[in-house]
Amino acid sequence: MAEKAKLSVVVLAKNESGRIAKCLESALWADEIIVVDDESTDKTQEIVRKFTDKVFVRKMDIEGKHRNWAYAQAKNQWVLSLDADEIITPELRDEITGILRNNPVENGFTIPRRNYIGDYWVKFGGWYPSPQLRLFKKDKFKYEEVAVHPRAFMDDPCGHLKSDLIHYSFRSLEDMFAKLNKQTTWEAQKWFDQEKPMRLGRFLYRTIDRFMRTYIVRKGYKDGFIGFVVAFNSGMYQFLSYLKYRELVAAQIRRCKK
């Protein structure tokens, strides 16, 4: 058997019993697999233990903080960060192992992602290659500790891999809109907590701008009906976040008047 790569694959999961086995199977060439489970109520933990004994149960409080904690558990210098709905392609495996054998000077690498809605690969609208910083030296990398869409920070130099990571972004359109609802609630709460000034005109503009950039500028129309839905979803993220922010402000005003 070939020697396993000195790499820690860190996977975040919550109620992913239907998908996590394929994710972990694709990572068996790494010498450490760590799963941080957000208190799943299905059979996720039972399935995970067939692949690794390094299973940590931790409730996600703030996404960036949760991710940083997960990476700190790794024994290796190099970490590959995955979500349970992602799969490492054989081409990506070979590219990573080749790079690690050569002691790269880079502190990390972006990886292109092939994003799917159901079984449809979304190729346009900015969804591909959609590179993300996922392979890194753990002492050179950190996420911003915010609840939604945390930014990644890493010291230069940064490299860029060519092989794809498969990402089953959403099980269906229903799943996509359910996540839109959840994420816009988090976004509105973040704005409210930061006491950011928000104006309706600004968000009407951003709603239309996001749609047009996704559908026209980034050629989302080439994905047909799915491309239109993706662009619509992108625009509505801004508008729904604003509406929920307004509700939080209104609730605060009512409390102050009592």
- pLDDT tens digits, 210-221: 999 999 999 999
SS3 98: helix
Answer yes or no: is pLDDT of 1 > 60: no
CA distances from 205 to 114, 162, 166, 213, 248 (A): 29, 35, 33, 12, 21
Same domain, 244 and 206: yes
Summarize the confidence of residues 129-148 as an average pLDDT: 89
Same domain, 165 and 183: no
Encode pLDDT of 42-69 as tens digits.
Answer: 999 999 999 999 999 999 888 889 999 9
Nearest CA-CA partner of 84 in 11, 9, 8, 28 = 11
184-229, pLDDT tens digit by residue?
Answer: 998 898 888 887 777 888 889 999 999 999 999 999 999 999 999 9
Listed residues 170, 185, 220: the one ending a domain: 170
* In contact, 41 and 68? CB cutoff 8 Å: no
Of 149 and 24, more confident: 24
The pLDDT of residue 114: 96
- 133 and 24 in a common domain: yes
Q: What is the pLDDT of residue 147?
A: 63
Q: What is the mean pLDDT of residues 150-157?
A: 89
Q: Give the predicted TM-score (pTM) of the model.
A: 0.86
Task: Spell out the residues 6+ positions from residue 13 whose beta carbon is closer than 8 angstroms to its own.
Answer: 20, 35, 36, 37, 38, 40, 44, 48, 83, 84
Structure confidence at residue 11 (pLDDT): 97
Rounded distance, CA 159 to CA 164, Å?
15
Q: Which residue, among 135, 124, 122, 52, has the nearest Cα to 92 in the 3D structure? A: 135
Whether residues 93 and 113 share a domain: the answer is: yes
The CA-atom distances, in angstroms, between 12 and each of 113, 124, 237 are 17, 27, 24
Q: How far apart are CA 202 and CA 200, in angstroms?
A: 5
Taking alpha carbons only, the member of 140, 76, 81, 75 closest to residue 108 is 140
The answer to whether residues 225 and 180 belong to one domain is: yes
- Domain end, chosen from 153, 170, 187, is at 170
Instruction: Give the domain extent around 243.
Output: 173-257
Radius of gyration of the chain (CA): 20
